[in-house]
Amino acid sequence: MFENYRVYKTDFAGRPLTVETGKMAQLANGECLVRYGDTVVHVAATASTKPREGVDFFPLSVDFEEKLYSVGKIPGSYLKREGRPTDKAILTSRVIDRPIRPLFPKDMRNDVSVVCTVMSVDHDCAPEIAAMVGTSIALSVSDIPWNGPISGVSVGYVDNEYVINPTSEQRKKSSMAVTVASTADRIAMIEAGADEIPDDVMYGGIMAGHKANQAIIEFIKGIQAEIGKAKFSYPSNEPDEDMLNAVKEFSIDEIRAALDTDDKNVRDERLAPIYEKVHAKFDEAYPDQTKKIDECLYKTQKYVVRRWLLDEQKRVDGRKMDEIRPLAAEVGLLPRAHGSGMFTRGQTQVLTVATLGSLDDQQSFDGIDEELSKRYIHHYNMPSYSVGETKPSRGPGRREVGHGALAERALVPVLPSVDDFPYTLRLVSEVLSSNGSTSQASICGSTLALMDAGVPIKAPVAGISCGLITEGERWMTMVDIQGLEDFFGDMDFKVAGTHAGITAIQMDLKITGLTPEMVKEALYKTHKARDYIIDDIMLKAIPEPRKELSPYAPKMLTIAIPVEKIREVIGTGGKVIQKICAECDVKVDVEEDGHVYVSGIDLDNCKRAIGIVDTIVNDPEPGSIYNGKVTRLMDFGAFVEIAPGKEGLVHISQLDVKRVDKVTDVVNVGDEVMVKVLNIDEKGRLNLSRREALIEVDGLVPENDISSEQRPPRRSFDRDRRPGGNRGFGGRPNPRQ
């Protein structure tokens, strides 16, 4: 039945890789089923038979579809089916898209769709790597015009050794996570997150990944040679050469004058009448190709910009090749926000706002990977007004998700641990103006916002981009590319990091790949640039994280309790913890390891809640003083609860410094009273005294005038000196105390 069924096997980083084709999805232009360990991903590539009308770009879509059955889960939604793609799925789609897109013909307008369906997940064999390899195979064996193959690997760094496609346990120990895609001779894509890795170590990892890719590329070439289809022909969207030359000759001088400015608004104003003049002259001469006149103008602008760069080392705005646009940094712009920072680079401007929340606010996931939650959340918004347009807002797209994830990846390595700073952090980067490198401006603005919020980051992080222009064997790089250089250039190499090293990389290419020399130069130039940004701009705006949190930020205290005591703190049906939250007006989060986190706007309420928790898990000591609540009255005294489940008797003789004839003359049910622990009997019952607490704390003198020598020694309860007591920010002094 499946006469075209084929199976191909190889070794991939020490684990079996099996490719099956010819059995499934036989109506697709190309397909394969990739088995990597127990990870199984099906990839199908299809193309439309005709070009899409009215588009001036190649319409490619890549979808990485996560199926929860792949990890034995039922979706948690009401409909019990997968909904919109997760951020992780969107990011993986982008990672696969970037290396394959430049290998399609630039003049093709046929829709091409690649769908990667994750059917089974072995966490030691990353499904995104299997999907990238599967995409390369499906396109290579299809009849879709494509100049592949490519391969992709993940590179880790464990115990000073590079590891190709690290296992789950190795990823937890690795100080970097780098995805490298390659063609047979060049590096096609880099996506990286790292823990302040030096440039030379990062470069070595990239080259290790590039080398590992070559064996898989040869494997794919073998499959293509055996079963690959002939590529179909398509109508080219290239404008007529005579028309292109005529438009270029007519407009090039005016285009040069229009582009020669550092102001995007001025440039757009100058170009508008040129477009009108060109259409007025050529629409009648080429009535069947009027839509391609704009393409001719685009190519003319691209020609001018690239010739300036290659022949004159001249940039559109007059800068030198290594010169950064004018920079500015501000903090504390929003009085009620917990932290805010604005970073301006030329006509690119991003305002980032930081919000602190309790650990209960962290984001949970219902996906196929091992990450179940995260306490650092970064969102990136780019409204249409930032580029001078009037499009309605439709929510975040793939670009916004990708740029937010890049900023998040860049900053996570410098965040304090949850023990040192027990907060959930949400940062929102609002792009106010865009003329290139907004993602890197958001990284700089986010560092400012974190420091303004009082987050004790390990080191400031800056981001910068490096561009590239190539012509045959000639090439040159330029730092801090603006929008036009990104638009007409060949590369946007984004690098974020501290003085010590790299924390994130994202590389976008419009050519087939980079040589090792290009990668090395981009790393060097971006490191030099970010050092300048950190020292001369960001640290002058705010030299260190603020010592105190905003008065509007929640205050957070933590205490470590024995795991076996967790049940007592939570109580049956959550009654105890709910009571603490209600009485103290705080939020209480209890972790499985015994850490208890208390958050609230009022620091005294947080301290009170911590004290209650401490009292629940630790037996009160004689001499300790508590604030309690009267729960019951008897003729012989009153019962006072000093913590949920901790109740003791105040004998009538211990209710006041003076003689008490009737209990209700002094207290009633519900009254809050201060009591001192006298002793704990052999049955664990507490004997309390309001009288002794008044003497010790308020200095009242009893009627029988007991001398100070007769009073018991003062032993007030000091939680800060008790094991597991109030540790503030994980042992650091609370900045609000």
* 588 close to 598: Cβ distance less than 8 angstroms: yes
Q: For the chain, first and last CA: distance in Å?
A: 76
pLDDT, tens digit, for every residue of 596-623? Answer: 999 898 888 999 899 889 888 887 888 8
Task: Give the pLDDT of residue 644.
Answer: 82
Alpha-carbon gap, residue 662 to 33, rounded angstroms: 85
All structural domains of the chain with their residue ranges: 6-227, 241-312, 327-541, 554-618, 619-721
Task: Give the pLDDT of residue 704.
Answer: 59
Please provide the average confidence, as pLDDT, over all residues in the chain.
Answer: 90
Task: Give the pLDDT of residue 696.
Answer: 84
Percent of the chain whose predicted confidence (pLDDT) is above 90: 70
Q: What is the DSSP letter of 554?
A: P
The encoded tokens of residue 527 equal 């490191």
pLDDT, tens digit, for every residue of 111-167? Answer: 999 999 999 999 999 999 999 999 999 999 999 999 999 999 999 999 999 999 999
CATH code 3.30.230.70 for 6-227: yes
Nearest C-alpha neighbor of 701 from the set 654, 652, 653, 658: 658
Task: Give the pLDDT of residue 43.
Answer: 98
| pLDDT above 90: residue 733 | no
| pLDDT above 50: residue 520 | yes
What are 596's strand-pairing partners? Answer: 559, 590
| pLDDT above 80: residue 234 | yes
Nearest C-alpha neighbor of 507 from the set 436, 438, 406, 400: 406
Alpha-carbon gap, residue 394 to 200, rounded angstroms: 42
CATH of domain 327-541: 3.30.230.70
pLDDT, tens digit, for every residue of 645-690? Answer: 788 999 999 999 899 999 999 999 989 899 999 998 888 888 999 9
**pLDDT-based confidence at 717, cuts 50/70/90?**
very low
Cα 638 vs. chain centroid, distance in angstroms?
A: 55
* 437 close to 462: Cβ distance less than 8 angstroms: no
Alpha-carbon gap, residue 553 to 545, rounded angstroms: 15
| pLDDT above 90: residue 710 | no
Residue 76 three-state SS: coil
pLDDT (mean) for 468-482: 93
Contacts of 418 (CB under 8 A, 6+ apart): 359, 375
Phi, psi of 490 (to 5 degrees): -110, -10
pLDDT, tens digit, for every residue of 589-598? Answer: 898 889 999 9
E strand map for 461-554: 462-471, 474-479, 491-497, 502-509
Alpha-carbon gap, residue 93 to 132, rounded angstroms: 9
Task: Give the pLDDT of residue 703.
Answer: 67
Domain range 554-618, CATH class: alpha beta
Alpha-carbon gap, residue 601 to 326, rounded angstroms: 40
E strand map for 219-347: 327-331, 339-345
- Helices (DSSP H) in 475-625: which residue ranges? 483-488, 516-533, 539-541, 566-570, 575-584, 603-617
Which of 142-151, 235-244, 363-372 shows the highest mean pLDDT?
142-151
* 549 close to 715: Cβ distance less than 8 angstroms: no
Alpha-carbon gap, residue 328 to 446, rounded angstroms: 14
Q: Are strands 502-509 and 424-433 parallel, antiparallel or unpaired?
A: unpaired
Q: Do domains 554-618 and 619-721 have the same CATH topology?
A: no
* 326 close to 281: Cβ distance less than 8 angstroms: no
Alpha-carbon gap, residue 550 to 736, rounded angstroms: 9
Q: What DSSP assignment string belongs to 393-448?
A: P----HHHHHHHHHHHHHHGGGSPPTTTS--EEEEEEEEEE-SS-HHHHHHHHHHH
Q: Residue 235: is the preceding peptide bond cis (ω within 30°)?
A: no
CATH of domain 619-721: 2.40.50.140
Phi, psi of 556 (to 5 degrees): -125, 130
Task: Give the pLDDT of residue 719.
Answer: 34
Fill in the amino acid letter for 513: G
Contacts of 114 (CB under 8 A, 6+ apart): 43, 44, 45, 60, 61, 62, 63, 96, 100, 135, 138, 139
Task: Give the pLDDT of residue 649.
Answer: 94
Answer with the residue of higher pLDDT: 361 or 342.
Answer: 342
| pLDDT above 90: residue 176 | yes
Give the Å distances, CA to CA, from 181 to 95, 136, 206, 213: 9, 11, 9, 7
| pLDDT above 70: residue 420 | yes
| pLDDT above 90: residue 730 | no
Alpha-carbon gap, residue 295 to 291, rounded angstroms: 8
Task: Give the pLDDT of residue 726.
Answer: 37
Cα 281 vs. chain centroid, distance in angstroms?
A: 50
Q: Is 509 exposed, middle or buried (0-12, 13-18, 19+ CB in 10 A)?
A: buried
